[in-house]
A and B are shown apart, each in its own frame.
Chain A
Amino acid sequence: MSARFRRGAIGASALGLVPVLALTACSSGDGGGSSGGGDQVRMLVNITDNLTQAKWDELVAPFEEETGIDVKIEGPSGQSVAETFPTQLAAGTAPDVIQSIFPTEDTAPEILDLSDHDWAQDTPMADLYATDGAINVVGVGMQAQSLLYYNKDLFEKAGITEPPATWEDMDAALKALQDEGVKKPVGFASEWATGVQVQEIWHPQQNLTTPGWQQAVAGGSSTLGDQFQPMFEHVADWIDAGYTTADDVATDSGTQEANFIAGDVGIYPMGSWFTTTLAASPPEFEVGIFAPPVDDAADLPAPMGATMAFPYMVWNGTQAKDAATQLVEYLVTDEDAIAAQAEMDNFNREGLDTSANEYAGQVQELLDAAPSFVVPGNQTVGDFALPVAGFNEKFTEVAQGLWQGTSPADAAGQLTAWYDAEAAG
């Protein structure tokens, strides 16, 4: 009996955790993920409602026809590409091209350096994702992060004539919306969204106050907590005033987006990818989009938080290096391929026609006006990456504590303590 239970105990705890490690031990680690020979390229991609297998196949079909290279599209075998790629690396079955994720400190040595290719230097945001000039990830455009979508009808009813420019304006707008009886003056959401939303709103002022704040934190001239405490204070004030409640951070982003579209939310902070949802389900009211507020209106327009759209990287261990590089070049430089990807999932890029999507057009205007672009704290590669892993998850956990009564100072302290412990290894 005891032996059975011992086996059960071991099995219960270890069975789900260690097979990959066993495979790691057994794998050579020197390639083999590709079919080899350059006739076929395996590409691991994100599969969503917008990014379907059929659309990916359609996207690469002209490339296959032109080059004779067979592109095999593969969806994640785990929850996401981020989870699948390291597992495949460990098992020695990594794909030749990886889409939708960025290199990390751990995976960067496994990724091909594309710096020698001229076309790579000209891709959007290549400079912000480069490490000492070395480029190992390229994209087709950018997804703006620092965006606040608002319901123009509710603004008008509440007597708000202009989108808020300063924090005082923002507080006044939220109060006016609340006084008007709007259910959710500002719509935060649960899980990953809480952390992303709080950061998105703070990017402009944060980068005005401390340009290149990640480097300041990494260099020790600032702390992570100090960087976010002012934003935590704004959020705590909004919670105290009842503009957002604990229910918000237990409501998933899909539901909160539906609430916005239904007209129950005054202001919804979200990245430019939300324009795709809006275009697919246009609300009955007019939607406006504005950049987050700053301390002094004279500083507007301020730096815009943004991430690379449709990032691609090539596995260094591939036996089909040339074919994989050709495919990536096609995806990020071919005009038809870029337009096809913009149709699959919206992004912005200078010169890209956004006339078919009025919301994307508004985002493009804000991007055109922005004096510079800045990357968020969860950036994992390049000169502006924090030297720790797991930032977004921790930030979300700490930020959600604000809705449970954690003071801004304590939340900031938790962030700093976490960063110090992680940075110390």
Chain B
Amino acid sequence: MLGRRSALGRGLMTVPAALVYIGLMVVPVGYAVYYSFTEYNGIPSQAPEWVGLENYTRIFTDPTGDMHSSLWVTGIIAVVGAFGVNAIALGLALMLRRTTPFTAFARAVMFYPHVLSALIVGFLWQAILGPQGAVNNLLTGSGRSALPFLSDPDWALATMIAVIVWAQLGVQLVLYLAGLQAVPADLQEAATLDGAGRVQVFQHVTWPALAPTVTVTIVTSVLSLLKVYEVVLGLTNGGPGDATQTWAYEILAVSFANNKVGLACAQAMLLIVVAGILSFTIIALRRRAEEGAEALS
């Protein structure tokens, strides 16, 4: 009797959270799924018209020639950006793992970009790297040629990835620092006493112990990179041409902006599906790697 009452009490306590979750997540996503099968402009007095898979067909056939290029751009950003942000964050975390006044200051500096709005980050780097920005002014002032950071399509994409990596570094660094705190010091010490060098200690002790952290950082960075929008808006606004138009830019600045809510919802659904597949794939791969490592040990 007491157990049943206790279970009821626990169940009741989850109701507020469940209501919030359903109201803010399940219902909107449900509507988005529905709208993705309709032609709808978002205006309540004009009812959505059921069009079946037409929006999805439009995405796959891409008759306007916009969407496939933005998928390609998003893929490059996700792959290169995730690798870059994790490699740099891990390297910095290894350098800053010991707490000293300098490392505490350095950690704060590294985290600082994350405090800034992504839109501000974009504007800031545009002022630094634009054709008449600070860097090019320095270059031309010293008699060198200006660099096309934002005016050449390839350079612009590379610049944008670099800026995104810079902006996201702080959070990944904190995660890696937290992960490193959890690596057993006695294991590292034992390995060192057994004659292992720094690289061997990292490879055989630190890296396996960091595996769960690596999974989290890779998944969160990939998810974050798949929906990059504000930096694009502030830094390049998708240009030059369509060189830096991402999938999220396509959804928010093209489809939504032109009242194509049905198409935008279909695009968002695909983003959710792709993000889900990538996340589960990364988790599965990491888990298999961890199991393999455990079997060997």
Report which A residues bind B (CB closer than 8 A): 1-2, 5-22, 24-25, 27-30, 82-83, 86-87, 89-90, 92, 104, 106-107, 109-110, 190-191, 245-252, 255, 259, 317, 389-390, 393-394, 396-398, 400-401, 403-404, 406, 414, 417-418, 420-422, 424-425
Contacts and interface: CB of A to CB of B under 8 A. Distances in A.
Given A8-B220, A22-B27, A404-B153, A17 B264 contact: yes
B224 interface: yes
B28 interface: yes
Interface of B: 23-25, 27-29, 31-32, 35, 39, 41-46, 63-66, 126, 130-132, 146, 148, 150-153, 156, 219-220, 223-224, 226-227, 236-243, 245, 251-254, 256-261, 264-265, 268, 271-272, 275-276, 279-280, 283
Contacts of A7: 25
5 contacts: A13-B275, A17-B32, A29-B43, A400-B239, A404-B241
Contacts of A247: 131-132, 146, 148, 151
Contact of B226 (A1, A12, A87, A403): A12
Contacts of A2: 280, 283
Given A18-B29, A255-B132, 5 more contacts: A9-B275, A12-B226, A25-B27, A27-B44, A404-B153
A325 B164 CA distance: 48
B272 A106 contact: no
A390 B279 contact: no
Contact of B44 (A24, A82, A397, A400): A24
Contact of A251 (B44, B130, B251): B130
B42 A9 contact: no
Nearest to A398: B241
Contact of B42 (A12, A24, A245): A24
Given A190-B237, A404-B153, A404-B241, A18 B44 contact: no
B43 A110 contact: yes
A92 B272 contact: no
A8 B276 CA distance: 9
B32 A14 contact: yes
A83 B257 contact: yes
Contacts of A14: 25, 28-29, 32, 268, 272
A249 B42 contact: no
B35 to A, nearest CB: 6
A25 B30 CA distance: 11
B120 to A, nearest CB: 14
A20 B276 contact: no
B276 A9 contact: yes
A249 B239 contact: yes
Given A29-B45, A400-B240, A17 B268 contact: yes
